[in-house]
Every structure is written in C-alpha cells, then in structure tokens.
A and B are shown apart, each in its own frame.
Chain A
C-alpha cells in the first residue's frame, strides 16, 4: 500500500515537474518589481478613499447612533424610574384615601347611631311623660269615681235602710242617724267592699 502511494506520488510528480522547475527559476512573484508602482498607487488610492469615506461619512454616523442609543436607553430608564415613583405615590394616595374613607364611614355610622339613640330616648321620654300624665288623669278619674261611688252607695244604703225600717217597723227613723251608722260601717268595712 505504502509502496503503491510512493510510486503514485513519483508518477504524478512527473507531470508537474515542469512547473516545479519554473517556480524555482521564477522564485517569489512578490519580489518581482514589475507591478510595485502600480500596487503602491492603487493601495494609496483605495485605502485613501476608504479612509476618507469612513472617517467623514460612516464612522461619525455609527458613533452618533451609539450615543443616541445610549442616551435613549438612559432616558427610558429614567422615565421608567419616574413612572415607578409616581405609581408608588399614587398607591400611597390611594391607601390614604381608603383609610380616610374608612374612618369617615365609621364616624358617620357612629354619629347616625348616636342620633338615632338620642331620638329614641327623647321620644321614649316624651312618651313616658304622656303615659304618666294619662295614668295620672285616669287615676284621678278613678279616684273621683271611687269617691263618688262610696257616697252614692252610702246614699243608696241610707235610702234602702230607711225604707226597710219603714216597712219593718212602720216608723220613720231620722235619716241623719242612719247615715251616721252607714258612714261608720262603710269606714270600718270600706276596704273590704271597694278594695284598692
């Protein structure tokens, strides 16, 4: 195998022998000064134009773009920071409002309760007064009636006793003596009959 490759190499090299010799005789094309002036000229021209266009037109644009982007990003960050701050402030405000309104609601509730209680109390008082007055009136009436009732009963008792005495005995008894006895009885037993 190695032998085969070796022979192949030699065989193929025979084809290129001519060029190998040519290269040895020619040496490096770089050292041939035929086109040196041309290369210097074209290098100066192309590199000069390249440098002028890059430095005057393109590089300032790129640097401006970079600066602009930097400042834009900085601005955005600042704007975001500001918005964050303002949102925090708004959140605080909101919390304040909420707590204030809670307090207010509590106050209103308390006030309303107190008012209602007061009203109830006053109404109750007036009602109590009215009731008391009416009770007093009624009691007075009752008293009057009671007084009136005992007198009437006494009268009835006197009349009936006098008539009974007339029918039983046939003689008229003085009314005043009867009334004295009735009064005495009624005083003694009044509590039993009329109660209290």
Chain B
C-alpha cells in the first residue's frame, strides 16, 4: 500500500452507506477532513473572537491578523465595492488553506487534491461572479469580452478568445489547485518510497529531498490557497468594476 503514490487519494466510506434516491452521499474520509477543517477554523476563530482585550493574546492575534490580511487582499484587488463578499472570500480562503494544511500531516487525506471538490468551488465562484456581473451591469457586462482600443479587424478574433478565456476560468482555477496538491503529495510519496527502497545506504538523499519537499509543500499549500482567493477577488473585480 505504501508504495503506490496514488493510494493516498483514494476515497473510502466511513460508516454505513447513505443513499438519497439514486445518489450515494455516504460519509467518507474526504467528508471527515472537510468536517475537521471546518471545525478547526470555527474553533480557532471562535476562540480568537471571544474575548476582546486591548492587548490581544496569541489566538486573538492570529484571528485578527488573518482578518486584516484577507480584508486588505480584497480591498487591494477588488476595491471597496467588494466588501459585501468579504465573508465568502474569507471562508473560502480559510477552507482551502486548512484543507491544504491538514493534508500535510502524514496519513491524512487532502480534500483539495480532488478535482471534483476544487471544480465545485470554482464553478460556484464562476456562476456567482457571472450573476453578480449581470446584476450590476445588465447586458453591459458583455463589454467584458470587447476590450477597448482593439482594431475592428481583429475584434471578432479577440472576442472569441476573450469568451474562451472567460469560460475556461473555472477549469483553470480548479485544475491549478487540484494539480498542485496532487503533484506535491505524489512527489512526496514517491520520495518516501525511495527512502524505503534504497534502505539505510542510499536512503539519505531522498530523505533529505523529502524533508525539503515538505517545507516546499507547506509553502505551496499556503500559496495555492492565497492564489485561489486572490483569483476569486480578481474575477469579482471584473464583475464589479468592469475595467475593460
């Protein structure tokens, strides 16, 4: 089991099979880590917002720093109009970050390494942003596909390219996160396998690689959560401010 780097991504049922109609919604290890991540976020931020002392303690500082971090990120990329969507982007960033980070603990399951999870998130963002854009600007939102200052001859081509790039947003967003997580975890598993197979004599090199990769992967886990959130902000900015 330990040798196959893909077995860590396998989903299996925990407890009985639950079926609603034709759909299987059984509680799986993926569900378990979604619940754990959400609970961890709620516990940490609940503890961090419980007391309000003038001099914050560590957990309060953590909560307040992440609050100001996300709020600054949103105001920098999407402006003050994006304030109503702060709580969504905050939850999104924290959820992805915690799922990525819990995946870094050995023998855990990485929720975000599954394309279906990231795709559902990205599709939700895509549909939501599109709806917001049409509500704010009406049909004027379609101007997004017609960049200003383009020669009329090139316009048909540019519009097609813009539409394709717009429609590929959910795919690029979801695949970026999923592929990064999967590749990182697979690589770590492969190097871990090398440590075992090369033994005491030759195992030191892959072991040191493994250690370095762990640090890199923790960075990637944070970075991908950040990228996911900031791309959401950028899409939201397109929908709210229509700069093209």
Using a CB–CB cutoff of 8 Å, the interface residues on chain A facing chain B are 4-5, 8-9, 12-13, 15-16, 19-20, 22-23, 26-32, 34-44, 46-47, 49-51, 53-55, 57-59, 61-66, 68-69, 72-73
Contact = CB atoms under 8 A, between A and B. Distances in A.
5 contacts: A19-B7, A38-B31, A47-B91, A50-B42, A64-B52
B64 A65 contact: yes
Nearest to A13: B197
Contacts of A66: 64, 67-68
Nearest 6 interchain pairs by C-beta: A55-B87, A16-B3, A42-B31, A12-B197, A61-B49, A46-B34
Contact of B52 (A20, A50, A65): A65
Contacts of A53: 42
B11 A8 contact: no
A8 B198 contact: yes
Contacts of B30: 35, 38-39, 42
B115 A31 contact: yes
B38 A37 contact: no
- Looking at chain A's contact residues, the main secondary structure is helix
B24 A39 contact: no
Interface string B87-118: 11011101100000000000000010111110
B121 interface: yes
B87 A8 contact: no
A4 B114 CA distance: 39
B182 interface: yes
A69 B91 contact: no
A43 to B, nearest CB: 6
B24 A30 contact: no
Given A12-B199, A30-B115, A62-B45, 19 more contacts: A5-B201, A15-B3, A16-B193, A19-B1, A19-B7, A20-B3, A22-B4, A42-B34, A43-B111, A46-B31, A46-B35, A47-B38, A47-B91, A50-B42, A54-B90, A57-B46, A59-B90, A61-B50, A66-B68
Contacts of B1: 19
A4 B104 CA distance: 33
* Residue among A12, A22, A59 having the largest count of chain B Cβ atoms under 10 Å: A59
Contact of B67 (A8, A19, A49, A59): A59
Nearest to A41: B25
Given A9-B197, A19-B3, A35 B48 contact: no
Contacts of A59: 45, 67, 86-87, 90
B63 interface: yes
Given A23-B7, A43-B117, A35 B28 contact: yes
